């Protein structure tokens, strides 16, 4: 069933006017081939990808979230403003759901990002407090090598003390290199305007 929600909240600084859940995919589908630009959200499990989609669109409960890692297990496709697809990906680096399942999810992510012809813009989400992990940096490297357009989000910035903010963002920037980094918090509603501008802008 298609679940439709529209958000017209007045004082939100973002340009997202509508967000519609289209479907969850385990492989290719005609929807991915209809010419609408795609924006993929990737990061390790539990880093807050699905929560970010909810806060960015202003639609609570649009993407399913959980305090337990490993919840998202498909490519969940959302149509934004009738002009873009947001693709909520499963997280990487979470072993508890079983080796075979993890491999299958990694294959799905890898197929979508690198083998299919879909070529989405990629939002790589890292934990602002933890900084980029080895897995995050390895992911960044393959994204760079494949020529993807990349935006990095330092998520859960609410967990970084105000006195540590500049220092922590500098450390992250040193490891991430020449990519735009947006400090973000779904909890404190921070970074939404900047991120929606970045992902929806016409290139
Ligand atoms: P998978 O689908 O398992 O890969 O996880 P995910 O990356 O989609 O994470 P999800 O959005 O489900 O959130 C994971 C946990 O992080 C939940 O307990 C959220 O409440 C919490 N969380 C998400 N965003 C933030 C944030 O900005 N700040 C804080 N403090 N917690 C957050
Ligand atoms: Mg998720």
Is pLDDT at 26 greater than 70 in this prediction? yes
Pocket test for ligand 1, best of 41, 43, 46, 60 (most atoms within 8 A of CB): 46
For ligand 1, is residue 189 a contact (CB within 6 Å)? no
Residues 53-68 have pLDDT tens digits of 999 999 999 998 888 7
For ligand 1, atom 26, the nearest C-alpha belongs to 156
Dihedral sign (CA 94, 181, 178, 201): positive
Q: Say if CB 37 and CB 28 are below 8 A apart.
A: no
Residue among 128, 175, 170 nearest 153 (CA) = 128
Structure confidence at residue 104 (pLDDT): 85
CATH class of residue range 2-200: alpha beta
* Cα 72 to ligand 1 centroid, rounded to whole Å: 11
For 149-164, what is each residue's pLDDT tens digit? 999 999 999 999 999 9
Mean pLDDT of 72-80: 92
Residue 155 beta carbon below 6 angstroms from any ligand 1 atom: yes
CA of 69 from ligand 1 middle (Å) equals 8
For residue 103, what pLDDT is reported?
Answer: 81
Both tokens assigned to 5: 């929600």
| Residue 71 alpha carbon to ligand 1 centre in Å | 10
**125 Cβ closer than 6 Å to some ligand 1 atom:** no
pLDDT at 201 (0 to 100): 85
**pLDDT tens digits, residue range 165-189?**
999 999 999 999 999 999 999 999 9
| Whole-number pLDDT of residue 73 | 85
* pLDDT band for position 33 (cuts 50, 70, 90): very high
pLDDT one-digit tens code per residue, 89-116: 988 876 566 667 778 888 999 999 999 9
20-45 mean pLDDT: 94
- Write down the pLDDT at residue 105: 86
Across all residues in the chain, what is the average pLDDT?
Answer: 89
Residue 135 pLDDT > 90? yes
pLDDT at position 15: 82
Report how far ligand 1's centroid is from the alpha carbon of 51 (Å).
5
Share above pLDDT 90 across residues of the chain, in percent, rounded to a whole number = 74
Please state, as a whole number, how many other Cβ atoms lie within 10 Å of the Cβ of residue 60.
Answer: 12
Residue nearest to atom 2 of ligand 1 (CA): 72
pLDDT of 77 > 90? The answer is yes
Q: List beta partners, residue 53.
A: none
Closest C-alpha residue for ligand 1 atom 12: 65
- What residue ranges do the domains of the chain occupy? 2-200
CA of 48 to the centre of ligand 1 (A): 3
What does the alpha-carbon distance between residue 76 and residue 96 come to, in Å, rounded to a whole number? 21
Q: How confident is the model at residue 12 (pLDDT cuts 50, 70, 90)?
A: very low
């Amino acid at each position: 069933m298609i679940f439709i929600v529209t958000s017209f909240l007045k004082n939100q600084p973002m340009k997202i006017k509508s967000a519609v859940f289209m479907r969850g995919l385990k492989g290719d589908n005609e929807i991915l081939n209809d010419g609408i630009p795609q924006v993929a959200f990737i990061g390790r499990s539990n880093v807050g990808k699905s929560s970010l989609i909810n806060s960015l669109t202003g639609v609570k409960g649009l993407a399913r979230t959980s305090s337990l890692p490993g919840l998202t297990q498909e490519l969940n496709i959302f149509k934004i403003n009738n002009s873009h697809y947001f693709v909520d990906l499963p997280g990487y680096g979470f072993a508890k759901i079983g080796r075979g399942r993890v491999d299958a999810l990694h294959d799905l992510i890898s197929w979508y990002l690198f083998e299919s012809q879909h070529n989405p813009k990629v939002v790589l989400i890292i934990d602002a407090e933890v900084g980029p992990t080895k897995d995050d940096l390895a992911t960044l490297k393959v994204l760079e090598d494949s020529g993807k357009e990349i935006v990095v989000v330092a998520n859960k910035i609410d967990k970084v003390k105000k006195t540590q903010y500049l220092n922590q963002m500098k450390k992250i920037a040193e490891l991430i290199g020449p990519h735009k980094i947006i400090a973000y918090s779904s909890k404190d509603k921070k970074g939404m305007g900047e991120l929606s501008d970045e992902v929806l802008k016409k290139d």
